[in-house]
């Protein structure tokens, strides 16, 4: 047996011994609940004065599926389109905790999307409701910097259909989204970095 084969077999045994679960995207899921580059509920780490605020966010995008193995008809790129509207409420009760201002958010997105041939899929409906039961925003003196952290979650109440629950724009699982937002808001500037990570539970239909 060659050295390369011994190394490969040893690596396989070690991987098998340490494996407990697998992570994967099911067919029909784009791999995210919140499209990268989009923020729901607020774009900065700052918090407005106490009150109840309503807002609407609208965006659209057009793209093509390309690259090795990409589906196509006669070599032409497969188009993807989406239009999204999200209505939400931001509640700032005026509470403080550990020197930070508290707020809560709820957002309801609506999505219309399609993928061209050879896939030919059209979807439209209610996406999972996005709820942030608590965010904390710190103003760092007069520096113009703000830091916000919180935990959002997508509730599996959207338009869910099909044998795996992925034939429409809703997802049949909870998505938990811890977030960290850093902003510089001074002298007319708005520079913001919005970092978040999505953690999905099991598909309630297929497991």
Say if residues 99 and 139 touch (Cβ distance below 8 Å). no
* pTM of the predicted model as reported, rounded to 2 decimal places: 0.83
pLDDT tens digits for range 33-86 = 888 878 887 789 999 999 999 999 998 989 998 888 888 888 888 999 999 999
Could you tell me the end-to-end alpha-carbon distance of the chain, in angstroms, rounded to an integer? 41
- Closest to 144 (Cα-Cα) out of 181, 185, 189: 185
């Amino acid at each position: 047996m060659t050295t390369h084969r011994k190394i490969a077999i040893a690596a396989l045994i070690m991987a098998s011994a340490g494996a407990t679960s697998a992570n994967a995207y099911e067919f029909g899921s784009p791999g995210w609940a919140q499209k990268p580059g989009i923020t729901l509920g607020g774009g900065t780490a700052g918090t407005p004065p106490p009150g109840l605020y309503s807002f609407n966010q609208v965006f659209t995008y057009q793209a093509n599926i390309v690259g090795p193995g990409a589906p196509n008809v006669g070599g032409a790129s497969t188009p993807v389109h989406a239009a999204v509207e999200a209505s939400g409420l931001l509640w700032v009760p005026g509470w403080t905790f550990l020197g930070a201002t508290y707020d809560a958010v709820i957002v309801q997105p609506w999505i219309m999307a399609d993928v061209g041939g050879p896939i030919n899929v059209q979807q439209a409906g209610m996406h999972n409701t996005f709820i942030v039961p608590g965010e904390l925003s710190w103003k760092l003196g007069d520096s113009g910097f703000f830091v916000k952290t919180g935990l959002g979650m997508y509730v599996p109440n959207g338009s869910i259909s099909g044998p795996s629950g992925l034939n429409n724009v809703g997802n049949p699982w909870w998505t938990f989204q811890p977030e960290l937002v850093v902003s510089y808001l001074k002298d007319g500037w708005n520079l913001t970095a919005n970092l978040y990570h999505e953690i999905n539970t099991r598909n309630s239909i297929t497991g």
